Amino acid sequence: MKFRIFFISISVLLFIFSAERVLFFYFQHSLFSQLPFWNILQAFLYGIRFDLSVIFLVNAPFFFLLFLPGPLLNFRFYRFFLWFLFWLVNLPCILVNVIDLEFYSFTHKRMTADIFDIRNDITHQLSQLLGNYWYLLVIFMLIIFLLLFVFHRFLPAGSVTANHTEKKQKILFETVTLIILMAVTFLFSRGGWQYKPIHPTHAYKIQPAQLGTLVLNSTFTLLHTLGQPAVQHTDYLPEKEVQKIVKKKFLSRFPVKNENVILIILEGISPGHKEYTPFLDSLEQHSLNFTNAFSSGTRSIEALPSLLAGIPDLMEESYVTSPYHLNKISGIGSILREEGYHTSFFHGGRNGTMLFDNFSDMCGIEHYYGMNEYSGSKNDFDGIWGIYDEPFLQFAAEKINGFSQPFFSAFFLLSSHQPYNLPEQYRQTLLPDKQPAYRAIRYSDLSLRNFFNRIKKQAWYANTIFIITADHSQFQEDPTYQTAHGIFRVPLLFYKPGYKWSDTISGTQIVQHKDVMVSILDYLGINPSNEKYPLNSFGVSVFDNTQEKFAITYGEGMYQWIQEPYSFLFTHESPSGLFNITADPLMKNNLLKKEKVKSEEMARKIKAYIQYYNNGLIRNLWDVEME
């Protein structure tokens, strides 16, 4: 009977995990729509290894107690305790995979332990999440009914029996069985005989790389990242070689300008949303528009470290919530305050959400305006996240009119975030036949238009440079935006009223959020003191044609180095792919073996920056001294 319980439990759990992978494939089908059937089948089969790892790991206590020698299963209380333990450890694992059917669309990665960093925001959104994604709850309940049916059908209550004979041979047999079972459990939990236990990066052994997401299950990635250090000390290359690769000398070639700076961060917008952003598109015609711009992360909480301090997102946990969040950084607010700037940050959400207020403080920004500071009507609250974009931007316009000049202000919009609520006056008129996400994007664009219509009448407007980008991309059905590089693509433009940008500045260069701060400083002609405000070596000014332009990203154990025209993929252990994303935007043709010289060159660069990033976080020092 013990073996029957054991094998039925494993079989039904493996079936459920496989079924959840089928559902994940259905919900995220655009990720894999260009891939042949045999590649998909290979991912499903390879994923069984990860499923078994989770099943044996979380059920190890259940299996141990099930196979304890003796007649324990004869006792009703003991049987009840065993089944309680089974449900206790397995239901959360099943639920995590169900939640990630939709949650993946927002993060573009399987769920990791950093989900707990936004637990307060999730608590506030719980009612609307249940309302909008009720079908996930239905799926979860159906799985529970399936488990109940299987156990009732094949393991009827009271059918468990045990031999009361306490013979030494019986006890010896059961003891040996328990030892063997625990050895098997250990083996499956670590994913096999290999030297190191199975890791999320092993999912990317099969090609193409985007199949790794299908191979994994969300419980595996969540458990793997629980309690793990954010980064580990890295020794890919000799330290002098690292510093030679990353070292940059920042020197602005512009004359000093006392111009105002407004940084506008849109919520979840991709470059492919042009039909829904007519005002933003009209600005692009008069701006320095970067068509190869990339975010550093896939979540809102990952945007500010990159935009305000030039720190890319290269670990599982956001910098803001990581153990290194108190490290010394040179934020744009601190540097500009030294130059006499008034500094402020505006976000219409609840104060404390995503720790925006805390991190803006850390970057030296003096004044924070959130939902608590908003002085408008209570009806302007969207009921979920905060103040609608249009009234909050009007509030911001009123505030900055009273600021001393020069000033730096950052605005973080929110209305194009799920659940995409709109003010009452727009619900029936604004693109009523379109999906809620697209309607919300149009509303944010309209809010931006009305903001500019108001501020362009002010005297300070002509003396202001505007930088507009998005915190991360938004889901799109276009498969180009579902690739390893496409999920990081965002709009980015520099707009100065009446200003003619030099033709020597390429709009097609690779630009990333980490480059925004140094580009602002470069444009303003500011050279911060290296002793007081040392800049890290991640960012490159868009105005500097002497430096190598690149983007570096991370997600699900996979690093990516983007340098025109290539995307190079690298796990913690080895290169995974090289793609010419200009000629092959869907990343179907892996050039790793064909272009070995280019692969080795990019591997050396990405190793240097990973080592510089990790060891700099640990040492609390991103120095680039050659000695």
Q: Angle at CA 622, nearest 5°, toward 621 and 625?
A: 100
Token reading at 4: 């029957």
Question: 493, 523, 543 — which closes off a domain?
Answer: 543
Residue 234 placed within a domain: no
> What's the CA gap between 75 and 78, in Å, rounded?
5
Residues 216 and 279 in one domain: no
Domain match, 383 and 497 both: yes
Q: State the Rg of the chain over Cα.
A: 27
Which stretches in the chain have pLDDT values below 70? 117-118, 155-169, 209, 529-531, 624-627
Neighbours of 548 (CB within 10 A): 11
Boundary residue ending a domain (512, 543, 574): 543
Domain containing 37 equals 2-225
What is the predicted pLDDT for the residue at 153? Answer: 80
- Burial (CB count <10 Å: 0-12, 13-18, 19+), residue 590: middle
Do residues 449 and 505 share a domain?
Answer: yes
Question: Looking at the DSSP assignment, which residues form a beta bridge with residue 494?
Answer: 288, 467
* Residue 208: predicted pLDDT: 72
Q: Same domain for 221 and 296?
A: no
Are 425 and 486 part of one and the same domain? Answer: yes
198-256, pLDDT tens digit by residue? 888 788 777 776 788 899 999 998 998 787 777 888 999 999 999 999 987 778 888 88
385 and 310 in a common domain: yes
In terms of Cβ atoms closer than 10 Å to its own Cβ (0-12, 13-18, 19+), residue 586 is middle
The CA angle 489-494-499, to the nearest 5 degrees, is 150
Pair 196, 271 in one domain: no
Cα–Cα distance between 533 and 597 in angstroms, integer? 38
**Which amino acid is located at 233 in the chain?**
H
Domain final residue pick, 526, 543, 560: 543
Q: Are residues 175 and 282 in the same domain?
A: no
Quickly list H helices, 28-161.
37-58, 60-66, 76-107, 119-132, 134-154
Residue 621 domain flag: no
Sign of the torsion angle spanned by Cα atoms 414, 417, 421, 425: positive
Q: What percent of the chain has pLDDT over 90?
A: 59
**512 SS3 class:** strand
Structure confidence at residue 537 (pLDDT)? 86
Residues 221 and 263 in one domain: no
Per the structure, how many domains does the chain have? 2
Predicted local distance difference test score (pLDDT) of residue 157: 56
Q: Helices (H), strands (E): how many in the chain?
A: 18, 13
Q: Distance between CA atoms of 64 and 419, rounded to whole angstroms?
A: 44
CA distance 588 to 209: 9
Provide the 10 A C-beta neighbour count for residue 200.
Answer: 24
At 355, list the tokens.
Answer: 């720790």
* Tokens describing residue 410: 């950052």
CATH number of the domain bearing residue 537:
3.40.720.10
221 & 269 share domain: no
User: What's the pLDDT at 93?
Assistant: 95
Instruction: Please indicate, yes or no, if residue 73 is contained in any of the structural domains.
Output: yes
525 lies in some domain: yes
Q: Is residue 623 part of a domain?
A: no
The span from the CA of 319 to the CA of 302, in Å, is 7
At CA 354, angle to CA 471 and CA 231, rounded to 5? Answer: 85
The H or E element containing residue 563 is strand 558-563
Q: What is the pLDDT of residues 275-312, one digit of tens each?
A: 899 999 999 999 999 999 999 999 999 999 999 999 99
Is residue 221 classed exposed, middle or buried when 0-12, 13-18 and 19+ CB atoms within 10 A define those classes? buried
Of all helices (H) and strands (E), which one includes residue 447? helix 436-455
Domain identity same for 274 and 204: no
pTM value is 0.81
Residues 216 and 310 in one domain: no
Task: Enumerate the β-bridge partners of residue 578.
Answer: 568
10 Å Cβ neighbour count for 49? 16
**Which residues lie below 8 Å from residue 398, measured CB to CB, with a gap of 6+?**
none
